[in-house]
Chain A
Amino acid sequence: MSEAAANPIDRAEETDDGNRPGQKLALYYFSAAMVLFAAQILFGLIIGLQYLYPDLLYNVLDFSVARMVHINAMIVWLLMGFIGCIYWLVEDEAGRDLVGAKLAFVNFWILTGAVAVVVAVYLFVQIGPGELRSIWLINEGREYIEAPRWADIGIVVCVLIFFYNVAATFTKGRWSGISGVLVLDLIALAALYLAGMYFTPNISVDQHWWWWVVHLWVEATWEVLVGCIMAWGLIRTLGANRRIVTTWLYIEVAMMFGSGILGLGHHYFWIGTPEYWLTIGGFFSALEPIPLVAMVVHAVYDAGRHGFKSSNHPALAWLIAHAFGNFFGAGVWGFMHTLPQINLYTHGTQWTASHGHLAFFGAYATIVIAIIYLAIQKARGDVWMSGALPGNGFAWKWSLALLNIGVLGMTVALLISGYEQSFVERALEGSTWSAYFEAQQTPWFVQGMQWRMVFGWITAAGLALLLWDLATIGRRETRPVQVLNPVPA
């Protein structure tokens, strides 16, 4: 008997009736996440147009407001997507129903309601007087973590309830390597958010701790979180061997935290922090792509070893997109401007926007979409989602293609604008306001912005097709899910 077959965890799904409370709740989170994904793209289109037509919605929905909604919608939809992924896998992994399910449903509605109120205030109140009450009630004015303080506290409470659900379910069910890493990572993720919840007049101290949240989330704890989801996803889509997957996960954690924690230093080059960060940040962030290479090797090796046979083709395709997107977006595009000698010219230019687009999409959006396809499959009655789907699966294939081409195209367009900006503004013209504006008007910069808009529309088309596919795939399917036998070690 193979080791995998002997492992009771790998038989968990056989006892799963597809109607578990955590999995139902996950569908709620995925739905909310997709609404916010649509909002992210809508507001992204608006700010992309404002680069080309600066008078668009001037003094009505200014760039600052639309951009805040664009990036906050992204952060929140990814977080809700992650929470959905974890509620989806926790019962399967723990071998029992979710603990505290009623509380978890109430928590979802509170969180969703709070997000709606925050967005409404962003859009209709927008700004406040220069007083503390503005950052308590309207917005904190700090990129990515703009949510007002009342919402920060609410988020912490909601995350603690979520953590209780997850940890208690594993404790009353069973633990595994994946769940152990996951729970420890969630503790770090929640604790780090606290570093962003205070006001100081000292902007160097402010940004120092702000990066603890932004960097140690995005380039450390989120990466490990998706590593856990990926590990579980490979077992479920491919029937990959659990022992090998878990060993890979430990290797990835060692490399991710080994490089990413001190990789924080690449944000400490120019904010008033000491010069030793130039060396530390440069060195460790140069190592950051290594675990991302490992993840590509891992995912592609597993998929290849199983002859790319999977029980859910769209999910596997998005997992592979994640492996490559994470490597190129976070790894290659991050490394390109991470050394201080280069970053002195590129910091605070469209280079960062280029990296941000490919990294957030490639590393995070892709894997949430993959797990949503797994969830939809079961929600539609554990139906067939392997090859030979109706219409040759054109909707999932085209949405995958359009979204990836759209985001990659935006990334390259922004990079060209970024090259032009750093060259003209920093290298030639002396980094003044007039240098900034001169760079913004150079033909290559403007053409980059025009191409970004073209690819923005392609991304939006991809999203529309994705939402349509998620709403319809498997609805008329009569074939049961393809059963894969776990491959022995």
Chain B
Amino acid sequence: MSQPWWSSEAMWRKCAIWVTAVMVVVLMGLTFDTVRQITAGGERVPGYDVINKKIFYEYDADRGYQVPRIGEDAPLFGQTLTAADAEALVEKGKLTTQAKNCMNCHTLLGNGSYFAPDLTKSWLDPAWINEGLREELMLNFLQDPMNNARTFGTGRRMPDLNITDEEARAVVAFLKWMSSIDTNGFPRGFTPLKQED
């Protein structure tokens, strides 16, 4: 019995191979461009020394949502760092978030677990009351979360993660840098900390 072409095993084998090959090639092309754009200091992800600057949110009428902007000097903990030192500090902060397993309670860039709030824009969160108090409140919270619990009435407290002062400062640097990433308007409709002019 002759086999119609559309149900032939050989035809579909070739089809599977070609479709897969084409998709892999397209993905590789897109990957080169994407990695170029998300490298720190690239178009969408600022360099680590952005922690020396003020980061704020502004509505972009063309894109239809708020985007992070980089303003005047506003060194973290009052100390302006070189690009290399800023990178080392953010790196320490990122390592700490991994070593303390933050992602299995929180989300970062929306990915992780849903037991605690998203950290993408936590540097800009109104929970820190104002820019003057923010750094101190963040350090206190990270190092002694049991006595500085921020449960908003839920009873969900962050556990004590043995975070040292050095680690806490590095985590804050990492969070400040992360808040400057262009996330295409995520999280939706974010209301930032009241920004001083």
Q: Are B181 and A272 in contact (CB under 8 A)?
A: yes
Q: Are B151 and A202 in contact (CB under 8 A)?
A: no
Q: How far is the CA of A108 from the CA of B144 in the complex (A)?
A: 43
Q: Are B90 and A201 in contact (CB under 8 A)?
A: yes
Q: How far is the CA of A197 from the CA of B7 in the complex (A)?
A: 42
Interface check B135, CB cutoff 8 A: no
Specify the chain A residue showing the minimal Cβ separation from B193: A432
- In residues 47-65 of chain B, which contact A (Cβ within 8 Å)? 48
Interface check B143, CB cutoff 8 A: no
Residues of B within 8 A of A142 (CB): 98, 103
Residues of A within 8 A of B12 (CB): 247, 250-251, 254
Residues of B within 8 A of A273 (CB): 34, 37-38, 44
0/1 interface trace, chain A 75-108, chain B, CB 8 Å (1 if under) = 0000000000000000000000000000000000
Chain A min CB distance to B96 (Å): 3
Chain B min CB distance to A243 (Å): 6
Interface check A152, CB cutoff 8 A: no
Q: Are B113 and A143 in contact (CB under 8 A)?
A: yes
Specify the chain B residue showing the minimal Cβ separation from A205: B38
Residues of B within 8 A of A262 (CB): 23, 26-27, 30
Interface check A349, CB cutoff 8 A: yes
Q: Are A54 and B155 in contact (CB under 8 A)?
A: yes
Provided the pairs A177-B13, A204-B109, A432-B190 are in contact, do residues A126 and B101 lie with their beta carbons within 8 angstroms? yes
Q: Are A434 and B126 in contact (CB under 8 A)?
A: yes
Interface check B162, CB cutoff 8 A: yes
Q: Are A55 and B155 in contact (CB under 8 A)?
A: yes
Q: Name the contact of B114 in the complex, choosing from A59, A278, A350 (C-beta under 8 A).
A: A350
Residues of A within 8 A of B146 (CB): 59
Q: How far is the CA of A276 from the CA of B37 in the complex (A)?
A: 12
Interface check A477, CB cutoff 8 A: no
Residues of A within 8 A of B23 (CB): 257-258, 261-262
Contacts between chains A and B (CB distance < 8 A), count: 270
Q: Name the contact of A131 in the complex, choosing from B99, B157, B159 (C-beta under 8 A).
A: B99
Provided the pairs A261-B27, A432-B125 are in contact, do residues A143 and B112 lie with their beta carbons within 8 angstroms? yes
Q: Name the contact of B182 in the complex, choosing from A208, A250, A258, A272 (C-beta under 8 A).
A: A272
Chain A min CB distance to B117 (Å): 4
Provided the pairs A250-B9, A270-B183, A272-B109 are in contact, do residues A58 and B157 lie with their beta carbons within 8 angstroms? yes
Q: Are A130 and B20 in contact (CB under 8 A)?
A: no
Interface check A420, CB cutoff 8 A: no
Residues of A within 8 A of B103 (CB): 141-143
Q: Name the contact of A205 in the complex, choosing from B39, B96, B118 (C-beta under 8 A).
A: B39
Interface check A352, CB cutoff 8 A: yes
Interface check B110, CB cutoff 8 A: yes
Interface check B108, CB cutoff 8 A: yes
Interface check A480, CB cutoff 8 A: no
Q: Are A63 and B104 in contact (CB under 8 A)?
A: yes
Q: Name the contact of B117 in the complex, choosing from A55, A146, A433 (C-beta under 8 A).
A: A433
Specify the chain B residue showing the minimal Cβ separation from A3: B1
Q: Are B109 and A146 in contact (CB under 8 A)?
A: no
Q: Are A250 and B15 in contact (CB under 8 A)?
A: yes
Q: Which of A27-35, A311-319, A437-445 contacts B (4 or more CB under 8 A)?
A: A437-445
Q: Are B104 and A270 in contact (CB under 8 A)?
A: no
Q: How far is the CA of A280 from the CA of B26 in the complex (A)?
A: 11
Provided the pairs A201-B48, A203-B178, A261-B27 are in contact, do residues A127 and B115 lie with their beta carbons within 8 angstroms? no
0/1 interface trace, chain A 297-311, chain B, CB 8 Å (1 if under) = 000000000000000
Q: Name the contact of A344 in the complex, choosing from B39, B95, B160, B185 (C-beta under 8 A).
A: B185
Q: How far is the CA of A276 from the CA of B43 in the complex (A)?
A: 14
Interface check A128, CB cutoff 8 A: yes
Q: Are A67 and B27 in contact (CB under 8 A)?
A: no
0/1 interface trace, chain A 249-286, chain B, CB 8 Å (1 if under) = 01101100110011010011111111111101000000
0/1 interface trace, chain B 159-197, chain A, CB 8 Å (1 if under) = 111111001001100100010011111111111000000
Interface check A447, CB cutoff 8 A: no
- In residues 318-370 of chain A, which contact B (Cβ within 8 Å)? 344-345, 347-350, 352-353
Q: Are B45 and A204 in contact (CB under 8 A)?
A: yes
- In residues 122-166 of chain B, which contact A (Cβ within 8 Å)? 122, 125-127, 146, 150-157, 159-164
Residues of A within 8 A of B160 (CB): 59
Interface check B102, CB cutoff 8 A: yes
Q: Which of A155-163, A372-380, A398-406, A423-431 contacts B (4 or more CB under 8 A)?
A: A423-431
Specify the chain B residue showing the minimal Cβ separation from A274: B37
Chain B min CB distance to A253 (Å): 4
Residues of A within 8 A of B189 (CB): 426-427, 430-431
Q: Name the contact of B151 in the complex, choosing from A177, A205, A210, A437 (C-beta under 8 A).
A: A437
Residues of B within 8 A of A349 (CB): 114
Interface check A483, CB cutoff 8 A: no
Interface check A419, CB cutoff 8 A: no
Residues of A within 8 A of B185 (CB): 270, 344
Q: Name the contact of B44 in the complex, choosing from A47, A140, A274 (C-beta under 8 A).
A: A274
Residue of A54, A253, A432 most packed against chain B (CB within 10 A): A432
Specify the chain B residue showing the minimal Cβ separation from A204: B38
Interface check A199, CB cutoff 8 A: yes
Residues of A within 8 A of B40 (CB): 201-202, 205
Q: Name the contact of A274 in the complex, choosing from B34, B113, B126, B152 (C-beta under 8 A).
A: B34
The 7 closest A-B pairs by CB, nearest first: A130-B96, A141-B98, A437-B152, A430-B191, A348-B110, A270-B186, A134-B99
14 additional contacts (CB under 8 A) given A273-B34, A427-B189, A432-B117: A54-B151, A54-B157, A130-B99, A138-B99, A202-B38, A202-B40, A247-B8, A272-B183, A277-B34, A347-B186, A430-B191, A433-B150, A434-B126, A437-B152
B interface, CB within 8 angstroms of A: 7-9, 12-13, 15-16, 19-20, 23-24, 26-27, 30, 33-35, 37-40, 43-45, 48, 87, 90-105, 107-115, 117-118, 121-122, 125-127, 146, 150-157, 159-164, 167, 170-171, 174, 178, 181-191
